[in-house]
Amino acid sequence: MTSQPADNSQSGSIDHVLSEDRVFPPPAEFTQNAVISSVQQYDEMAAAARDTPDEFWRQEALEHLHWFEPFSDVCQWDAPDAKWFVGGKTNACYNCVDAHVEAGRGDKTAIIWEGEPGDARTLTYRELQREVAKCAEAYEQLGVGEGDVVSIYMPMTPELAIAMLACARIGAIHSVIFAGFSAESIADRNNDASAKLVITSDGLYRRGKVLPLKETVDEALAKSTTVEKCLVLRRTGGDETPMTEGRDVWWHDVVDTQPGELAAKPLDSETPLFILYTSGSTGKPKGILHTTAGYNLWARRTFEWVFDYRDDDIYWCTADCGWITGHSYIVYGPMTAGATCLMYEGAPNHPAEDRFWDLVERHKVTVLYTAPTAVRAFIKWGDEHVDKHDLSSLRLLGSVGEGINPEAWMWYHNKIGGGRCPIVDTWWQTETGGIMMSPLPGITPTKPSSCTKPLPGVMPKIVDELGNEVDSEHGGKLCISKPWPGMLRGIWGDRERFIEQYFSDVPGQYLTGDNARCDRDGYYWIMGRIDDVINVSGHRLSTIEVESALVSHPHVCEAAVVGRPDDLKGQAIAAFVTTTGRDTDDEFLKELKQHVRKQIGALAQPDDIRITSGLPKTRSGKIMRRLLRDVAAGRELVGDTSTLEDLASIAQLQDSE
C-alpha cells in the first residue's frame, strides 16, 4: 500500500502515499444510452478539440447556442487574454429560456421549487420567460442597462434565478453574493464592482428561523457609495421591513406589474455576463469575470456530457446560486440544455435529517449533484434517515467542491446510489466556469477519489516549482496549457492580480492553484491547494491523502490535516477530526495514529490529533485549512474570514487549546 518517497523538497513535486485500487466500470445501461457512449467517441472528440480546436468549437457553438449574428473567429488567444466567438451576437438568457419556447418546448417544466417551510412552485419555460422579461423591464425602469452591475443577495427562490437571467437579458452584469454574508462583505463587493442596484428579500428561512436579510443590506448600503436602488422581494412576510423612500422598492410593485414582453438583447460574445467573488487565501476577495458566449457554451456542454443529460431527467444540484456551482449547474448549464431542475431553498436537516431524501423520493430525482461536505454530514447523521426513503429514481450522482474521501465515495455509491449509480467526481473552479475533469458516466471506469480524465478541450499539465513538466505520477502544480471557452476573462478591476495569480508561474498557461498527480491509466488525482502542502522532513505531503486515511477509520467522520511549525522536521502534522459514536480518550487517539501509520506509513502519521465537534468551512462547504493552520500554530487568525460559514467552530477550536 505504501510507497517510499524520496526527499523531494527541492523539486517541488508531491509525495503520493495513499493508493486506491478499487475500480467501478460503468453500468451497461449507461453505455448504451449515454450522450458520450463509447471510448472511441470520447477519443475522437478529445483529439478534435486538441488538434483542430477552431473547427471543433465552431461546430459546438453553431449547434448549441443561438446566434443573432454569426461570429467570425472562433478564438483569439493572446495570453492571458482570450476572446471566443469573436464578432458574434448571442444572449445567455435567450439560450436558457426563449430558445425552448421558440422550439415548442415552452410547456416543459423548467424549475420545480420547494421552500424550506414546504411551500412549492413550478415554472414552465414559458412562465419563466414571462417572469424574466418582467424583471428585465423593471431593471430598465430602475435605470439599469447594459454594463451596469447588479448585486443579488437573495434566498434560493425562483426569483434568484429570474434576477440573474434578467441581467443576462439586457446585458447587465450580475454579482451574486451568498445570502448570509456580513454587511461588511456585501459593501466590499458592491464597492469593488460599482454596483448600481442591489436585489434582496425581506428575510430568509434557515432551519426554521427567519433571518432579516434586508436589515443586513441596509447596513451594507450605508457604506456602498455606488448603489442607487434596492429591489426587495417579499419572502418571509411581516411588516417590519425597513424601506428607504426613493431608494427601496418592492418586487411585487415594480416587477409583477410589468407586461413581460421585453425581448432578449443581441449581445456581443464577449459581453460580461457576471462577476463572482471568491475568497483569496489572503487579502480581499477577487471578482472573477465571465463573459457571455464562451461561458454559456461551456456550461451547457459540460452539463450535457457529465450529467449525461436526457430529456426526462429531474435534475437536482443542491448548491446555492451564490457559488459558481449554482451559476453553471443550476442556471446556465441545465437551462440552456432545457432541463427540468429541482431547486430547494433550505437546510438539509430541516425539519429533519432526511429532507434531501424526502425531496428525491417525492420529485423522483434522477440526477443528484452535491458536495462531499454534505455526504459526510449524511454519514454522521446515520443511515436510518436514508433508509426511510425510496431512492430508486436516481441514476447518476455527482460530487463537487473538494476531494471526496474514498470512504465517503463508497458510502455515496452504496447507500445513496444503491450500488448502481455512477459517481461523477467533478473537478473545476470558479475561474474555469465549468467542469474540467470528470468521469463520463457511460464510459469511464471510476476510482474512488479520482476526478479521472479531462473533458474534451481541457489540456492539463503537471509542473514543478520552476514550471517544468514533471513525471506526472509524482504530484506537482496543475496547469491548463490551452485556453477553453469557459475560462475566466479577468479579475474585476485588477489586471495585475489576474496576471500574477494565474499566468506568471508558467508564462502563457493557466495556473490552477491546486496540486495533482496523474496515474498510469491517465487518471488525475487532485491533491489539494498548493498552499496546503505539508512539508515533513523534506517530504511534501498532500492533505487529502492523510485525511482520507483518517476518514477510513470507522469512527472518523471528517478530518482536516495541516502542517504546524516543528523545529526538528520543518513541519509536524496536526489533524482535526470529527467522530461518530465512540469515546474519544487517549486510547482512541493512539489507535487513530496507528491506523494512519498502517494505511499510509510512518511519515504521514499525525503528530497531534484534536477531536472537535465541527470544522471551519466556507459557505460552499470547503474546509478552511488556512484557519486551522493558525489554530495549530497557536497564531492569531489572519486574512479574510468573510466566507467562513460558522465562526463559532473556530472559536471552539481555539478555546480547546
**Binding-site positions for ATP:** 401-403, 425-430, 514, 529, 540
**Residue number, 288 or 443, with CB nearest to ligand 6R9:** 288
Residue nearest to ligand 6R9 (CB): 430
Among 403, 441, 442, 606, binds ligand 6R9 (CB under 6 A): 403
Q: What is the 3-state secondary structure (H, E, C) of 433-497?
A: CCCCECCCCCCCCECCCCCECECCCCCEEEECCCCCECCCCCEEEEEECCCCCCCCCEECCCHHH
> For ligand 6R9, which residue of 308, 353, 425, 558 counts as binding (CB under 6 A)?
425
**Residue 175: helix, strand or coil by DSSP?**
strand
Quote the cell numbers at residue 470: 514533471
Q: Which helix (H) or strand (E) holds 400?
A: strand 396-400
Closest CA relative to residue 112, chosen from 63, 64, 173, 161: 161
Interaction of residue 588 with ligand 6R9, rule CB under 6 A: no
Q: CB 472 → ligand 6R9: shortest distance, Å?
A: 17
Nearest to ligand 6R9 of 135, 561 (CB atom): 561
Selected binder of ligand 6R9 within 11, 37, 182, 278 (CB under 6 A): 278
Q: What is the DSSP string of 82-133?
A: EEESTT-EE-HHIIIIIHHHHTT-TTSEEEEEE-TTS-EEEEEHHHHHHHHH
CA pair distance 561, 163, nearest whole angstrom: 40
* Rounded least distance, CB 83 to ligand 6R9, Å: 23
CB of 353 to ligand 6R9, least distance (A): 24
Gap between the Cα atoms of 29 and 39, Å rounded? 15
Q: Which of 336, 370, 426, 444 binds ligand 6R9 (CB under 6 A)?
A: 426
Site string for ligand 6R9, 444-463 (x = CB under 6 A): -------x------------
Neighbours of 180 (CB within 10 A): 17
| One of 115, 401, 406, 433 touching ligand 6R9 (CB under 6 A) | 401
Q: Considering the rule CB under 6 A, would residue 405 count as an interface residue with ligand 6R9?
A: no
Contacts of 393 (CB under 8 A, 6+ apart): 314, 360, 361, 364, 365, 366
Choosing from 159, 218, 402, 645, the residue that interacts with ligand 6R9 (CB under 6 A) is: 402
| 115 vs 403 by CB, closer to ligand 6R9 | 403
36 touches 45 (CB < 8 A): yes
Q: 307 vs 427, which CB is nearer to ligand 6R9?
A: 427
Question: Quick one: 8 or 325, whose CB is closer to ligand 6R9?
Answer: 325
Interaction of residue 545 with ligand 6R9, rule CB under 6 A: no
Closest approach, Cβ 400 to ligand 6R9, in A, equals: 5
Nearer to ligand 6R9, 12 or 401 (CB): 401
Least Cα distance to 371 among 348, 398, 346, 352 occurs for 398
* SS3 state at 316: strand
Closer residue to ligand 6R9 in complex, CB, 193/288: 288
Q: Which is nearer to ligand 6R9, 115 or 334 (CB)?
A: 334
200: burial class by Cβ within 10 Å (0-12, 13-18, 19+)?
buried
C-beta of 340 vs 432, nearer to ligand 6R9? 432
Check: CB of residue 423 under 8 Å from CB of residue 397: yes
- The yes or no reply on residue 620 touching ligand 6R9 (CB under 6 A) is yes
Contacts to ligand 6R9 from residues 498-527, by CB under 6 A: 512-514, 526
Give the footprint of ligand 6R9 on residues 280-339 (CB under 6 A). Answer: 324-325
Phi-psi category of 564—alpha, beta or left, where left has phi over 0 and alpha has psi -120 to 50? beta
Distance CA 625, CA 630 (A): 9
CB of 488 to ligand 6R9, least distance (A): 10
Beta strands in 303-345 (DSSP E): 314-317, 340-344
Instruction: Indicate which single residue of 427, 484, 498, 576 sits in contact with ligand 6R9 (rule: CB under 6 A).
Output: 427
Candidate ranges 23-31, 119-127, 421-429, 588-596; the one touching ligand 6R9 (CB under 6 A): 421-429
Q: Residues touching ligand 6R9: how many (CB under 6 A)? A: 20
Select from 274, 303, 309, 428 the one that contacts ligand 6R9 (CB under 6 A): 428
What is the 3-class SS of 536-562, one letter each residue? ECCEEECHHHHHHHHHCCCCEEEEEEE
Residue numbering of the annotated binding site for CoA: 206-209, 325, 349, 537, 597
Minimum Å gap between C-beta 555 and ligand 6R9 is 24
Q: Which is nearer to ligand 6R9, 139 or 524 (CB)?
A: 524
Residue 137 interacts with ligand 6R9 (CB under 6 A): yes or no: no
Instruction: Report the alpha-carbon angle 14-16-21, nearest 5.
Output: 150
Residue given cell 422579461 in the structure block:
133
Contact (CB, 8 A) for 528 and 515: yes
* Cβ proximity of 475 and 15 under 8 Å: yes
Binding residues for Mg(2+): 551, 553, 556
Nearer to ligand 6R9 (CB atom), residue 353 or residue 425: 425
Q: Judged by CB under 6 A, which stretch of 99-107, 394-402, 563-571, 572-580 contacts ligand 6R9?
A: 394-402
CB of 483 to ligand 6R9, least distance (A): 18
CB of 586 to ligand 6R9, least distance (A): 33
Minimum distance, C-beta of residue 552 to ligand 6R9, in the bound complex (Å): 17
Strand partners, 290: 274
Helix (H) or strand (E) holding 188: helix 183-193
Pick from 104, 510, 452, 135: nearest CA to 288? 510
Residue whose C-alpha cell is 436516481: 394
Binding site for ligand 6R9 (CB under 6 A): 278, 324-325, 400-403, 425-430, 451, 512-514, 526, 529, 620
